[in-house]
Structure 1
Amino acid sequence: MSASLDLGPPKETPGTLFLKSQFRTSPQWPPKDTNLEGKVAIVTGSNSGLGFESSRQLLSYGLSVLIVAVRSAPKGETAASKLRSQFPNADIRVWSLEMESYDSIQAFARRADAELTRLDIAILNAGMQTAYFSVIPNTGHETLVQVNYLSTVLLALLLLPILKAKAPAGRPGRLTIVSSGTARGATLPESEGTPILAVLDDKLRPWDPVERYAISKLLGHLFMAELVRYVNADDVIVNLADPGLVKNTDLQRFAPPLVAAFFYCYKGILGRTVPVGASTYVDAAVVKGKESHGCYVANWRVSSFAAFLYTPEGQAATKQLWKETMAEFEFAGVQTILDNLKK
């Protein structure tokens, strides 16, 4: 059901994979005849960085309607104004989306269902990094797990039936969730049966921002391995896109000055340019077809999931995480949504 699963675990270490990604992989741009005229896309976190650039690239291929989904409406309008000046014929709308709020996510999905007569593409790019352990008061979950995993997954689940219903007949909707190569080396060290989310929410346990960011992205791999069982590629093609290490992004903006300076220099030396990084989004959401369904797409090709997923511990964690995620979102009726997708 997933070519990434069929590939088996990565045959190289995360470090080797990283170096090959950054120095021995050539960008693969969409075909010159790529045409998105008439299509409608949502891009979250699209006021800056990779979200903004991927939006710009979609519009350059003729995208007709773009929903700029952002936390800050003023910043969204600034970004939209820049895009409108470059693409005056496109319909570019700014919609509010707070990824720390389940109410905001549900309201956003309801708005998409009510106001959009068509929806072809959703790229869930909104994510964050932080330097210190914190908990989202409204949910009780650790911030990185909340934003990078739980909130992203909830939005994905709520958009799936909309993409299925509002993409043209015979053309599956496209849902691309942004991942990270850091997931490749991440693990969940707890024993089988241990609650995953509760452990990650425990402020008394050791916490490292780099490790936790990687874990928040690893959870997405585990989730995708289960989600593909419910979603037919004829309805919606779902995949993960890894942009690689990219320079000139604001991911480390919350870090202490010295740490931020280190990452700025590190990414300046090793990182891809923003246009190259953003092209991986367009590739996963537009160029790749059903062969990428339920897969992790890295370096513009279907790749193995994180090595942890293929271990006995990873298989158990996959089932446990799915169970906890479904319980977390019972209030939103996600199990019913998934059951209906299979009909």
Structure 2
Amino acid sequence: MSANLGHLPATASSFTAFVGRQFTTPKPLPANLDLSHQVAVITGANAGLGFESGRQLLRANLAHLILAVRSRSRGDAAAQTLRAEFPGAEISVWLLDMLDYTSIKAFAERCAHAPRIDMVILNAGLQKVPYTTAPETGHEVTIQVNYLSTALLSYLLIPVLKSHSQKPREGNSRPIVLSVVGSDMMYSVEKINTDSPIISAYDGEAAYEPQKMYAESKFLLCFFIERLSRTVEPGEVLINMPNPGLTAGTSFFSARSAVVRTLARVGQAILARSLEVSATIYVDAATSCGPETHGSFLSEWAVAPFPPMWYTPQGKEFGERLWNETLVELDLAGH
């Protein structure tokens, strides 16, 4: 488990470490992976890594893929492509707006009424340019979607997936898996907020920088998801955080300036993994990883350390404050 890796050298944020991770030899998916009868839910599934991971699950005979998307037209187009490639599978499109708490709660409720769910991959996320606030909450959009809304959906899904785990699931003896996509960019966060409140400290345009805010959002998410994992046994719902690394063919840099996009294309040409390779990290986390990954950050198909400060007394205190503040922010305290 990541919680037990505090003894490793704190070098993950270095460029050398990043390059080393990018050139790790990919771990092939098991040749005998068979997901017959199983049902998977993927958010942000109409393009990029969400779409490709869904395709790979279908190649392993997944019976039913639920594409959770914000845009009905884009979701339908993605589903049409996959239905043509996998005519024997059931492919559904469910709407989910990660900027709308009502939509998130309705989506969790819909999952509760699904006949079966075997795995959920929370892939939806963004890096926003320019500085933008969420209409409902007033928080900066990157923090809203990547952290607060993902935390809310993760929290709401725990009782839903626990309930599904009590049902017979033909062809699957594994626990239900909730994979919440993380990022090794969290290693670049150099200090924690020792003052309260934590969340509102990210509001305000003055010091906004898109890449830094993305890293901060994934840093907060790592702390929250690890804490959430302590509320459920891995035999009921196995929770992990796969990191796809730098990946070509995604829209990650699409909102940045022309200069940044050009530099990103050069960097991706040298360092990036393909969509096909990075998606196997999601699929591996959702279909092959065991209880040793519960509450853990996964990078390069293996359990990896949390940010160094997670292991410090200050980090522990920060994590508890963040957990409690987030529950209050999301109106979940006492639930």
TM range (shorter): over 0.9
* Counterpart-to-counterpart distance in 2, 1:233 and 1:42: 19
The yes-or-no answer on 1:179 pairing with 2:182 is yes
Q: Give 1:132 deviation, angstroms.
A: 2.3
Provide, for residues 59-86 of structure 1, a one-character-per-residue CA deviation record: whole Å limited to 9, x for no partner.
1101101110011110111111111011
SS at match of 1:239: strand
Q: Give 1:194 deviation, angstroms.
A: 2.2
Which runs of no fewer than 5 residues in structure 2 stay unpaired?
none
2:5 aligned residue: 7
Which residue identity is paired with 1:4? S
1:339 aligned residue: none
SS at match of 1:261: helix
Instruction: State the identity as a percent.
Output: 40
Provide, for residues 119-144 of structure 1, a one-character-per-residue CA deviation record: whole Å limited to 9, x for no partner.
11000000001122221020121110
Q: Give 1:334 deviation, angstroms.
A: 6.4
- TM-score, L = length of structure 2: 0.94
Q: How does 1:1-343 map to 2 (within 5 A)?
A: 3-8=1-6, 10-11=8-9, 12-15=11-14, 16-23=16-23, 25-114=24-113, 116-167=114-165, 168-169=167-168, 171-191=174-194, 193-204=195-206, 206-330=207-331, 333=332, 335-336=334-335
Q: Give 1:306 deviation, angstroms.
A: 1.4
Provide, for residues 192-220 of structure 1, a one-character-per-residue CA deviation record: whole Å limited to 9, x for no partner.
x421101011334x121111110000011
Conserved 8 A contact 2:155-2:228? no
1:341 aligned residue: none
Provide, for residues 252-285 of structure 1, a one-character-per-residue CA deviation record: whole Å limited to 9, x for no partner.
1111222122212211211000000000000111
Q: Give 1:9 deviation, angstroms.
A: 5.6
- Comparing 70-79 with 257-266, greater Cα deviation is found at 257-266
Q: 1:261 to 1:9 in 2, by over 3 A?
A: farther
Query: Which aligned runs of 4 or more in structure 1 are off by greater than 6 angstroms?
Result: none
1:340 aligned residue: none
Q: Give 1:95 deviation, angstroms.
A: 0.7
SS at match of 1:14: coil
* Counterpart-to-counterpart distance in 2, 1:188 and 1:69: 34
* Counterpart-to-counterpart distance in 1, 2:111 and 2:143: 25
Q: Give 1:20 deviation, angstroms.
A: 1.1
Q: Give 1:52 deviation, angstroms.
A: 0.4
* Counterpart-to-counterpart distance in 1, 2:187 and 2:266: 23
Provide, for residues 11-56 of structure 1, a one-character-per-residue CA deviation record: whole Å limited to 9, x for no partner.
1242232111112x11112211111111111000011110000000
Which residue identity is paired with 1:261? T
Q: 1:9 to 1:274 in 2, by over 3 A?
A: farther
Conserved 8 A contact 1:9-1:307? no
Q: Give 1:310 deviation, angstroms.
A: 1.9
Conserved 8 A contact 2:120-2:178? yes
SS at match of 1:203: coil
* Counterpart-to-counterpart distance in 1, 2:147 and 2:283: 21
* Counterpart-to-counterpart distance in 2, 1:227 and 1:111: 21
Conserved 8 A contact 2:40-2:119? yes
* Counterpart-to-counterpart distance in 1, 2:322 and 2:123: 22
Q: Give 1:188 deviation, angstroms.
A: 4.1
* Counterpart-to-counterpart distance in 2, 1:9 and 1:143: 35
Q: Give 1:177 deviation, angstroms.
A: 0.5
* Counterpart-to-counterpart distance in 2, 1:54 and 1:201: 33
Q: Give 1:286 deviation, angstroms.
A: 0.6
Q: Give 1:335 deviation, angstroms.
A: 4.4
* Counterpart-to-counterpart distance in 2, 1:140 and 1:43: 27
Q: Give 1:236 deviation, angstroms.
A: 0.1
SS at match of 2:277: helix
Which residue identity is paired with 1:19? V
* Counterpart-to-counterpart distance in 1, 2:67 and 2:231: 28
* Counterpart-to-counterpart distance in 2, 1:312 and 1:291: 24
* Counterpart-to-counterpart distance in 2, 1:62 and 1:8: 39
Which runs of no fewer than 5 residues in structure 1 stay unpaired?
337-343
Conserved 8 A contact 2:3-2:305? yes
- TM-score, L = length of structure 1: 0.92
